[in-house]
Structure 1
Amino acid sequence: MGAFKTELKESKILKIVFDLPGEKVNKFSTPVMEELEKLLKELMERNDIRGAYLISGKKDIFIAGADIDEINAIKNKDEAYLKAKRGIEIFSMIEKLPFPLVAAIDGACLGGGAEIALFCHFRVASDNKATRIGFPEVNLGILPAWGGTQKLPRLIGLSQALDMILTGRTLDGKRALKIGLVDALFPHQVFDEFVENFIEDMLRKGIKSSKPKKKGWILKIIEDTPLNFIVFSKARKQVLERTYGNYPAPLAIIESMRYGYKKKIEKGFDFDARKLGELIETDVSKNLINIFYLTEAIKKEKGVKGEPKIKDIKRAGVIGAGVMGSGIAYAFSSVDIPVRMRDVNTTALTNGMKSIASVYNDSVKKKRMKESEAYQKISLVSPSLDFSGFSTADIVVEAVFEDMDVKKSLISELNNILKEDCILASNTSSLSITEMQKSYKFPENFVGLHFFNPVPRMPLVEVVRGEKTSDDTVATVFALSKKLGKTPIVVKDERGFLVNRILMPYLNEAVLLLEEGCPIEVIDSSMKKFGMPMGPIRLLDEVGIDVASKVALILYNAFGERMKPSSKMEKMIESKLLGKKTGKGFYIFNGRERVNEEIYRILEIEKKPFSAEEVIKRMTIVMINEASRCVEEGIVESPSTVDIGMIFGTGFPPFRGGVLRYADSLGAQNILKELENLRNKYGMRFTPSPLLEKMAREGKKFY
């Protein structure tokens, strides 16, 4: 059975349904493209069709794009060039049809799906919440080579097109209509009927295809004259500021768009095809595609083996209305789960509700949701000074002070409040789940659920399995995390779990470099150039010097000398320089953010010259070493889980593929040699893990 089915209506309007057999989504593979070509050739010869529309047979999906497996299987730039040219050749047939073809977009329309829509004579979208139109190719380290880079700026304008393609951002139907990407927006419930009426209307008016949205004279001068070099220069500058040139795809997109915008579109298509060939051979693209596969695999996982019983979470409770607690309450409300948020004082609850409201208000300002929707979501959060309402909760997450005695006391109190099958989860970042669950009378229902700050933005959740945590509990919170829009990983119950255990040696090394005289600017700028989203010293200020110090001490007590924290952290706490929350830390946050130059005097540090190369080497090698220990000790099941954890939990540069894929690019023998040199110079914190020593001897890799 083929992917395309046709139905000619009495009105002589042809309905073309794309419904790829055996797949949850529609995607373009070589066989599908060949079938499309055959269909278009047949339609060229028809004289009984007045108009047609392409619609999806899948729920909430129009077309997800090209088949990633085929992209990943491309062997060289010549093959990539030919595949891109072939796609353009087939899509271009649409423009030569003897009748108008409408792309009827009801659901996700991404990549190649958005590109085929650009070749259609008209585009209409539904108001379905699942309708999102975008070009995410940049996230795979490539560019839209089936016409997107050339046709989109001609339709919606240069600036809008650059923004969409460079960010991979998707638009809902309303926004797509506003910028001229689609010609009409219709109700989801009666979409087919409205599409057919639209075609009749266009035929009646004699309009053969949609026209680009008219530009104001200022925009016309800026975009459609030689002055457009300003637009391209600004885009390039912004890309370099954001990526430090580590990602070649955004720069290639700008180059392609600039080349094609001033020439015939066919030349632009050819330029895109050649650029695709160059990009697809890069390690960056290969690493980004690997990350795509890893995240897709998590979507299919359950967190445990076998067939666990996954509980439906209908009501939730959160204890603690601080930054983490309010963030977790927001996460529940965002997916329409009513949540009771409890704290011990009114001020904390008021601030927590304000924090939740501010996230929703921001979404309203950015037109991601209506004001009425935001109000409805906020109303799902019920603040409380007591535990009323908690007896009906299916899950309760505690986010109180990071102290074992405080948490165990709270858990004991909850024994007489929560129902028997309620899951109790701790948001602890480093304390033992096994120890905590001893205080819960249903230990099989106790689990770690470690969110990262800020909860609304950070995608990772660590699901921490205690000694007595059941498979059903792990599977339930794993599924719940995905429902909340997070990427969950299951980790063993050891101090620091995975992310903090690898992150803390990295942050500590930054302070030790500072202690030796390396300027703060050099440390932070070096790691940002490496690809980290924020410098480690600046990150310490964001986390809070006191919080970071507490976690560092927990890890020091657990793992000994190799985790010994710098004494300078205590001096920062004594000086009440706690970071952003107090307005001063390593940086000053009052007014313009800047380095706190007083730090060098307070910590008795004399600045010395350090190279970026030395900083990057020391900072990354401690992460690699600790990550290898986590694999060796079975903290996670595989190296890929380490990489997902560090990318989504700390922002480790995706283009490098993750900590351990980056380690493979360096080679175990080279890493071992560097660690031994650094150990001789700086001490035992650089002692190589037994696994790295073994890998170096045997010439093995993590992947």
Structure 2
Amino acid sequence: MSNTPLFQGQSLVVEKLASGFAELRFDRQGEAINKFDARTVEELGKAGEALAADGSIKGLMVTSAKDVFIVGADITEFGANFQKTEEEIAAWAYEANKKFSAIEDLPFPTVTLVSGLALGGGFEMALSTDYRVMSTVAQVGFPEVKLGIFPGFGGTVRFPRLVGADNAIEWIAGGGQMKADAALKVHAVDAVVAPDKLREAAEKLLQQAVDGKYDWKARRAQKTGKLQLNPIESMMVFTTSKAFIAGKAGKNYPAPLAAVTAIEKAAGKTRDDALKIEGMGFAKVAKTTQADALIGLFLNDQLIKKKGKAYVKAGKKIEHAAVLGAGIMGGGIAYQSAIKGTPVIMKDIADKSLDLGMEEANKLLSKQVERKKLTPEKAGHILSTIRPTLNYGDFKTVDIVVEAVVENPKVKKSVLAETETMVKEGTIIASNTSSISIDDLATAVKHPENFLGMHFFNPVHRMPLVEVIYGEKTSKEAIATVAAYAAAMGKTPIVVKNCPGFLVNRILFPYFYGFLGALRDGADFVKIDKVMEGFGWPMGPAYLQDVVGIDTSHHVGDVLAEGYPDRMKNDTGEKTALDVMYEQKRFGQKNGVGFYKYETDPKGKPKKIADPATYELLKPIQKGQVDMSDEEIIDRHMLPMIIETVRCLDDGIVETPTEADMGLIMGIGFPPFRGGALKYADTIGMQTILDKCAKFAHLGKLYEPTESMKKMAAEGKTYFPK
């Protein structure tokens, strides 16, 4: 390779090779990965100029000096960019696109070597060359819709012209990462080879194009011309896909549909006019509240992961774990530990419970085998690393014990005290409790510095969040070790200070109290569920209580009423809807009847049916029947949740707004496109929140804003500054 660069930047370099080819190599200085920030786009323009000016180049290879090609755009730049007007964003996109088009218009054939990941802008870079050779282990795709936007560097223009509108719509609207075989199948790439053969294959393909064996000019004309669809085909593809995507994405996620519309509008245009249409469509979605929230969510996730890595560094590595209490929860925790490589002892006092725990782990492993994620042999080996036992025999070998016995303080304290005498010095003991005070439980152990809470959410294998709850005496090392263990289990740990309900349940229950108040005032529980699901919740509050379990809700409600009597205690002496369901032993899905009745569908899953008996049972506790407006239903549920989230922040239960919002999204399914309770408050504005609170002031403390909220409104501040 010659050492005479045609262009040298901080993100990329262009060199002439002895073969007569040139190489444009992405190599972002001081970073482990390549991504498209403003500087890289600028340098790409200069690289294009240098390549076009040299008349001796025969062909171009676009490569990466990193393990990955380009992971996409630099998302940290979106915030400031998207503050601009729609016109300014569209103009910025069009100007950036000229740099990609300059590469596409070079007077010689071009090929990209796709290694590692080529996502979003990275894949769009690859599409601007004539050919693509992909490594067998690489992945390509357009994840932009997951951020509430769609490809803006020519993806909606070049890709459909290359692979057909139907394939392009599926890839762009789906937002997935595609493996090499899938990319080859739709002709998104021209060849797939082993990683060590990538350069050799690309050079060979480029030489064949130079020699006229491949018509690179025809390929280029295909990408820069109009989309080849006759009117009937066009109507079929776009009408069908728009109906399907609208049904699947719903009104709360406009980006997938906007992407299809951009492809459709630009179908009859050549490249440069099509890129203008893409830019205008991109600008429109970039200005939506959904894009704002989803981009914020991505950045929040990065921050949480960064914190998690710091805990991993600070904590001790767990080599061997134990779970106390088998059953569904214990079996789920044991499975999660074992599948991620930490062997685990599962102890219970009854063979029947151990059988249940092992059945749960086996069932989950069998599903992985069915989905071809594991071989039967691998699944068998993982199961063998879970050891059921009725005694404490090998507890001296474990580094952590996760206690998952019944949610009863007396039982838990007795088990914790006994366990502490059976483990080696320094073993961490963590209680999987959803609401019992960690400081109260710590009174049962002699080494409270090694004791804390580790709250898993049900079902353990699906829910990404683990609350790591520290008490007054918990050591920093114990916190870091448990957070590191949660991360090793593939979970996202959020560290929270002990308080009744911890973070997630403490914030969820005011939302439930909003629901009970709306029922008391005559609202229809089925309509409430419909409205809140329309707002974006995966299930409405009545259905959610049935899934959680009415008895569980009732118990946690008692704990929170004691902890926060000013706003969570029912002092009226009147029964709530929850009391009625509990007294009638209508515990929800677990016994087939709660607010709804449950029948089994053909797939064996519970199906809810509105039960006329519920209306009759609720009549005595309701003040008549009211057709409550959608806005009032939303406000009565969301305001208490926002206020309690702010209280958690003010009380130092979590350190940052990021952790508060991410806890709600990962713990209870808060609508992602709204970004969390605090992001939602930012979106509608704190003054608007205060005005809404004033409207419901007669409902009591649950709707009373905090002093910090009033101060924030007065100063015009937000939880997530742009």
Query: What TM-score do the two structures reach when normalised by structure 2?
Result: 0.85
* Match among 681, 686, 694 for residue 703 of structure 2: 686
* Match among 657, 669, 689 for residue 639 of structure 1: 657
Partner of 1:152: 159
Partner of 1:116: 125
Partner of 1:567: 576
* Match among 646, 658, 661 for residue 628 of structure 1: 646
Partner of 1:498: 503
Partner of 2:255: 249
Q: Does 1:17 align with 2:25?
A: yes
Q: Label 1:16 to 1:668 Cα distance change in 2 as closer, same or farther (>3 A).
A: closer
Report the Cα distance in structure 2 between the residues aligned to 1:197 and 1:345, rounded to whole angstroms: 67
Report the Cα distance in structure 2 between the residues aligned to 1:372 and 1:120, rounded to whole angstroms: 44
Identity %: 39
Q: Label 1:694 to 1:361 Cα distance change in 2 as closer, same or farther (>3 A).
A: same
Partner of 2:428: 423
Tell me, yes or no, if the aligned pair for 1:121 and 1:208 is still in contact at 8 Å: no
Q: Label 1:452 to 1:14 Cα distance change in 2 as closer, same or farther (>3 A).
A: farther
Partner of 1:546: 551
Partner of 2:276: 270
Q: Which amino acid aligns with 2:91?
A: L
Larger mean CA deviation between 26-35 and 226-235 belongs to 226-235
Partner of 1:598: 613
Q: Cα offset for 1:298?
A: 2.0
Q: Cα offset for 1:146?
A: 0.9
Structure-to-structure mapping, 1:86-485, within 5 angstroms: 86-97=95-106, 99-128=108-137, 131-188=138-195, 192=199, 206-208=213-215, 224-239=233-248, 242-243=249-250, 245-301=251-307, 309-363=314-368, 377-485=382-490
Partner of 2:71: 64
Tell me, yes or no, if the aligned pair for 1:127 and 1:173 is still in contact at 8 Å: yes
Q: Cα offset for 1:274?
A: 0.7
Q: Cα offset for 1:693?
A: 5.0
Tell me, yes or no, if the aligned pair for 1:319 and 1:399 is still in contact at 8 Å: yes
Tell me, yes or no, if the aligned pair for 2:449 and 2:475 is still in contact at 8 Å: yes
Cα deviation digits, residues 485-532 of structure 1 (max 9, x gap): 433322110011111101012123223323433222211111122222
Report the Cα distance in structure 2 between the residues aligned to 1:413 and 1:202, rounded to whole angstroms: 75
Tell me, yes or no, if the aligned pair for 1:437 and 1:446 is still in contact at 8 Å: yes
Cα deviation digits, residues 376-404 of structure 1 (max 9, x gap): 55554444444454433333322221112
Q: Which amino acid aligns with 1:463?
A: V
Q: Label 1:640 to 1:203 Cα distance change in 2 as closer, same or farther (>3 A).
A: same
Tell me, yes or no, if the aligned pair for 1:465 and 1:491 is still in contact at 8 Å: yes
Larger mean CA deviation between 464-473 and 565-574 belongs to 565-574
Tell me, yes or no, if the aligned pair for 2:71 and 2:120 is still in contact at 8 Å: yes
Larger mean CA deviation between 400-409 and 222-231 belongs to 222-231
Report the Cα distance in structure 2 between the residues aligned to 1:5 and 1:700, rounded to whole angstroms: 43
Report the Cα distance in structure 1 between the residues aligned to 2:72 and 2:20, rounded to whole angstroms: 29
Q: Label 1:184 to 1:697 Cα distance change in 2 as closer, same or farther (>3 A).
A: closer
Q: Label 1:533 to 1:354 Cα distance change in 2 as closer, same or farther (>3 A).
A: same
Q: Cα offset for 1:20?
A: 0.4
Tell me, yes or no, if the aligned pair for 2:308 and 2:492 is still in contact at 8 Å: no
Tell me, yes or no, if the aligned pair for 1:87 and 1:146 is still in contact at 8 Å: yes
Tell me, yes or no, if the aligned pair for 2:545 and 2:588 is still in contact at 8 Å: yes
- Give the root-mean-square deviation of aligned CA atoms: 3.5
Report the Cα distance in structure 2 between the residues aligned to 1:343 and 1:193, rounded to whole angstroms: 59
Q: Does 1:30 align with 2:53?
A: no
Partner of 2:672: 654
Q: Label 1:348 to 1:164 Cα distance change in 2 as closer, same or farther (>3 A).
A: farther
* Match among 588, 591, 601 for residue 582 of structure 1: 591
Report the Cα distance in structure 2 between the residues aligned to 1:461 and 1:186, rounded to whole angstroms: 41
Partner of 1:616: 634
Report the Cα distance in structure 2 between the residues aligned to 1:631 and 1:679, rounded to whole angstroms: 22
Q: Label 1:115 to 1:502 Cα distance change in 2 as closer, same or farther (>3 A).
A: same
Q: Which amino acid aligns with 1:145?
A: G
Q: Label 1:155 to 1:552 Cα distance change in 2 as closer, same or farther (>3 A).
A: farther
Tell me, yes or no, if the aligned pair for 2:317 and 2:484 is still in contact at 8 Å: no
Q: Which amino acid aligns with 1:635?
A: I
Q: Secondary structure at the match of 1:417?
A: coil
Tell me, yes or no, if the aligned pair for 1:64 and 1:109 is still in contact at 8 Å: yes
Query: What TM-score do the two structures reach when normalised by structure 1?
Result: 0.87
Q: Label 1:690 to 1:96 Cα distance change in 2 as closer, same or farther (>3 A).
A: closer
Tell me, yes or no, if the aligned pair for 1:222 and 1:231 is still in contact at 8 Å: no
Unaligned stretches of 5+ in structure 2?
1-8, 221-228, 602-606
Q: Which amino acid aligns with 2:282?
A: L
Cα deviation digits, residues 333-370 of structure 1 (max 9, x gap): 34333333334444444444444455455555556566
Report the Cα distance in structure 2 between the residues aligned to 1:100 and 1:208, rounded to whole angstroms: 9
Tell me, yes or no, if the aligned pair for 1:540 and 1:579 is still in contact at 8 Å: yes
Unaligned stretches of 5+ in structure 1?
213-219
Tell me, yes or no, if the aligned pair for 1:664 and 1:702 is still in contact at 8 Å: yes
Report the Cα distance in structure 2 between the residues aligned to 1:169 and 1:300, rounded to whole angstroms: 24
